[in-house]
Structure 1
């Protein structure tokens, strides 16, 4: 069913962590950068921010208004189209961020706003935002204009373009009412057919294709905003989804697993998560007040983090595992308010993007996605000497135990990186050395140190309340490790015998009965790994 998920009132803007390093790996599916095989990447103007570092930039002329572009697979060259009259195509050497050449097009080749590259990387195709619409073919090696297609009446104002994964067919969407989707055979450079959409699915401004090239999803700048699903194999409309109260589906990305399509909505700024298997099912997460005009979207390679670029240059971060807002980064982009940026991420450079700012003056910035970023530490209160931790299977909560007397356990919300609650486990046991979590995330098992007075304790802790439900004690010399077999619902405790610390002992326990097993396994210091 359709539903929206509103943002909670209390927001945590600054991200904090407890000795946790965050990975930020971003990569593309096979194919070219931008608009191919499931990814339609437009970038942010916020540098630096989490996992991003400005690695260089090139300033362009004052009158350059970049509105579209693509790179080769290797990420060594890029070609950008300008929203000028006549249009210009700028070739850039990405290895050193130097402009190679600028091609000024002919009179009437105006306002380039959609572009794709063919599978051989020899030719580029630029659509004009004019009436009638044109598609200009460019030899990318020689930077010569080699042909054009003038489209029929009504197929003008080209605003978005996608291509199939092998780069043999392109689909141009029109910013018109009604809207058209035009299929172009790039091999013969000919218009093969067109699709006229219903009147209430007009003004196409964005598009993304799935990895198989079977379906395309086009954003409609109507009121309300819509996403239109099109079968690319026969160029027929399949369905559409409306988002009441929203306009401007500016950018779409299909996450790496191919389960969800994410789209950033411009006004009010929000992120929609749409189930591709059940096209009508979606959630919407609204950004907080003051964060408006979302224009771009990036998703990391693991499909766990989304970064929404705002028109004012800031960048909102969303955790996709639990679909929660995480914070916003201050703008450090050029100028005050930038035009919609165009970001290209080459297929062979998974951790690098090239962001072209459409404002005045124009600029192209190389951004590296850092593989590792450490955030500021979360300072705890009464919890010291952290010794062991468990994390639930969704990666939402962590439970840290202390090697202190009495021992404590503290619950941490990993999405918001905040301390949720803390509790003393027992006052009559020593510090905690080991821990494990059950398969249902209901209980944690914590093993303590041991001595002749206190013995050794295994505590079953309710992870909701953090109270100890049950305790098993023994005269063993502390539980230095715990392993949990979810398939057999059985735990294993590693320890040493009190009378001979050189001897290793493995003891099993049954969580359902909360009882030790009937047999221990003793091994000496020459233990060969077999029980």
Structure 2
């Protein structure tokens, strides 16, 4: 698995004229999320390959990768949604991308500077682009629409303007292939009555059409071997068929029917020197011997679904993008996968776990149930693990370094996924209650001293705390709390208590549970406070919480909040600190090796009119404010973990794409 280098980020802004002691040590960006790839390009001159994603409700992105290292290089926001096709002029170092929109647009990108140069809207008769071809010799491009009024738009690349339009007699989305030496464009009708339309590019007129066999429906992609005068067309059928067309006679010469597990062509590439063609199906890469027109073999990808492909003949590699946002490199000589990389949609990080013994960090992402593994020594992203998405959105995690496991929990349902840390693989999935909107895991905590996992679970509003052994995951007991919402849970192994933050928004209370007999031992009502975050100081038996207060609804006016302390022996609030300028508290933790508590906050910076993140340090022996230090423009830091042995803390802002993973040094108390 490729390692992603970190971007060193040293940020240390002064806040309230206090000497800066907290600083960001390291930070890297997770690659931005990629939806289904509809277009793939390769540029041997620049030693790069590219995939474009198809985003329906957001701008599409162009992803750039290094051919030699298979490394992610950069992402470019194309400024338009639903990018469905792309072409590249390698000599002029520009690319053009068409959209599946009405009106259709074409975006021009300078591939050398990796910047959008310009985009144009096409005429009303050209909508929902499906395929594109380029003639670099004459500086023309052809974009094919795929609607009830299908047409081909001819683009002058020198002036980047629409030159003319040619209507196609058939409708539906249309694939295409260009024969530049002979100046013909071939357009496929994607329907149950399949046809290939032949267009003379010198006159830009349709000069013929060819009907395929009734079983060769939905032709979608193809390649041309200009030297031999043949075209090969793949169909989106089950199984996939590959049709051979004699271009000189414009006649069908035969077809290959692939095995039953090779369905639906999605892309094609050709190696004319070695007389080979490649077609990607729904689950494989199929290799065809063009000299004998026979299927040689296929490379199976299992549950992965290829969606776009580009070929680098210089390197003898094929680069494939999969529907579930992975990419792979295939060595065309050995016909084996040599590299795979995940560029998952890293939205909504939900938790960070730290394995202090192995010095590894783990970040869990909600959307696809992905867990990223990070080497905290080199600060590199080294591996991913995908949990089974059928169980719902990943939401919580607990680290069991002593037994060599980590435990992960979904949001809707009581499901525990046990992951073996030694080889980063799933060891067991235990399902107590299935996925359902009325069933919610609302908090987890791990008692490392007694090897017990506690899970707060709401079933139709009725909340119970479940007790499991670790690592065996045997259920040991259930404590019913009734119809009251719970949130985060804290373990005090030293004194034998579990504390659960409870109530509705704002979360207004703490319940205390005695671990020895698993019974309710008391609670405190905090309804007079607007609680943002809590942190347990088990050594002194205090709970700290951030109380969000503002004397004005205007962010430009004065704001203040409090850090408050609860005595857990008496279950009462004993004191609060007022902190000026704080807009809200987003996360907190207590350093168990020292007498310090830390709060992440957002504060209003009047100098630039925006919010920034900061860290507040509190002396837990006196609940006195020590200092407040800005750490930059991070957005909503709610996901964090602390490694006391190395004196580092780690966090991810939750409202960023790409997601950043940041390391903070924990300051020594003066």
Name the CA distance, whole Å, in 2 between partners of 1:319 and 1:120.
30
- 1:22-421 maps to which residues of 2 (within 5 A)? 43=51, 51-61=69-79, 63-152=80-169, 155-166=170-181, 168-212=183-227, 214-243=229-258, 244-255=260-271, 257-266=273-282, 269-288=283-302, 290=303, 292-301=304-313, 304-326=316-338, 328-331=340-343
Give the match for residue 449 of structure 1. Answer: none
SS of equivalent to 2:238? coil
- 8 Å CA contact 1:85, 1:108 repeated in 2: no
CA drift at 1:220: 0.3
Give the match for residue 515 of structure 2. Answer: none
CA drift at 1:92: 2.0
Name the CA distance, whole Å, in 2 between partners of 1:253 and 1:42.
15
Cα distance per residue 1:35-76 (max 9 Å; x no partner): 9xxxxx984869578623444432123x52111222224142
Name the CA distance, whole Å, in 2 between partners of 1:103 and 1:167.
29
- 1:393-472 maps to which residues of 2 (within 5 A)? none
CA drift at 1:111: 0.4
CA drift at 1:145: 2.4
Q: Say what the alpha-carbon RMSD is for the aligned residues.
A: 3.2
CA drift at 1:310: 0.9
Q: Which runs of 5+ in 1 are unaligned?
A: 1-12, 16-32, 36-40, 337-374, 376-531
Name the CA distance, whole Å, in 2 between partners of 1:147 and 1:208.
25
CA drift at 1:162: 1.3
Name the CA distance, whole Å, in 2 between partners of 1:332 and 1:47.
15
- 1:449-528 maps to which residues of 2 (within 5 A)? none
Name the CA distance, whole Å, in 1 between partners of 2:333 and 2:257.
24
CA drift at 1:119: 4.9
SS of equivalent to 1:248? coil
Runs of 4+ in 1 over 6 A off after TM superposition: 333-336
Q: Which runs of 5+ in 2 are unaligned?
A: 4-40, 44-48, 53-62, 349-381, 383-670
Name the CA distance, whole Å, in 1 between partners of 2:95 and 2:279.
25
Cα distance per residue 1:213-244 (max 9 Å; x no partner): 61111110012111111112222111111122
CA drift at 1:319: 3.8
Q: Specify whether residues 52 and 333 from structure 1 end up closer, same or farther in structure 2 by C-alpha distance, changes over 3 A only.
A: farther
CA drift at 1:81: 1.1
Q: Specify whether residues 224 and 188 from structure 1 end up closer, same or farther in structure 2 by C-alpha distance, changes over 3 A only.
A: same
- 8 Å CA contact 1:209, 1:216 repeated in 2: yes
- Structure with the larger strand share: 2
Q: What number of residue pairs does the alignment pair up?
A: 297
- 8 Å CA contact 1:42, 1:296 repeated in 2: no
Name the CA distance, whole Å, in 1 between partners of 2:310 and 2:86.
17
Q: Which has the larger radius of gyration?
A: 2
Q: Specify whether residues 55 and 272 from structure 1 end up closer, same or farther in structure 2 by C-alpha distance, changes over 3 A only.
A: same
Greater alpha carbon shift after TM alignment, 93-102 vs 318-327:
318-327
Name the CA distance, whole Å, in 1 between partners of 2:124 and 2:346.
31
- 8 Å CA contact 1:117, 1:167 repeated in 2: no
CA drift at 1:182: 0.9
CA drift at 1:202: 1.3
- 8 Å CA contact 2:143, 2:154 repeated in 1: yes
SS of equivalent to 1:249? coil
Q: Specify whether residues 209 and 132 from structure 1 end up closer, same or farther in structure 2 by C-alpha distance, changes over 3 A only.
A: same
CA drift at 1:83: 0.5
Cα distance per residue 1:161-192 (max 9 Å; x no partner): 11114372111112112111111111111111
Name the CA distance, whole Å, in 2 between partners of 1:211 and 1:330.
36
Name the CA distance, whole Å, in 1 between partners of 2:50 and 2:187.
17
SS of equivalent to 1:257? helix
Q: Specify whether residues 316 and 145 from structure 1 end up closer, same or farther in structure 2 by C-alpha distance, changes over 3 A only.
A: closer
- 8 Å CA contact 1:170, 1:186 repeated in 2: yes
- 8 Å CA contact 1:130, 1:158 repeated in 2: yes
Name the CA distance, whole Å, in 1 between partners of 2:346 and 2:64.
9
Name the CA distance, whole Å, in 1 between partners of 2:68 and 2:268.
21
TM, length-normalised to structure 2: 0.41
